[in-house]
Amino acid sequence: WLHPAGLGSYAAAKAAAWALTDAAREELAPRGIAVSALHVGYMDTDMAATVPADQKADPADVAAQALRGIEKGLPEILADETTRYIRQGLAALPEAA
């Protein structure tokens, strides 16, 4: 996860939202209800005003990706390279001690 200084609670909330959508997907699937989760790192908004432009996703592009992902029935929509990198790390197996 990304957890810049001063944003620990925000990072924790994003991690919790990811886990919540995973749990909701599993709980609702037997009822035929699909849950798609949209994940994005930094988006070009006022909140991310101090983040370098090359690290931010365009909100219009994120919205378009969300719609395409929902239409395709994707369980996860990873809207930027940062999020795809983080997801790849979550899927990795821990090294043996």
Other C-beta atoms closer than 10 Å to the C-beta of 15 total 15
Q: Which residues contact 87 (CB under 8 A, 6 or more apart)?
A: 39, 76, 78
Could you tell me the two tokens for 39? 């994940």
When pLDDT is cut at 50, 70 and 90, the band that residue 14 belongs to is: confident
Give 44-93 pLDDT, tens digit per residue. Answer: 889 888 888 888 999 999 999 999 999 999 999 999 988 898 888 777 76
pTM, to two decimals: 0.78
pLDDT score, position 23 = 96
Q: Domain spans of the chain?
A: 8-91
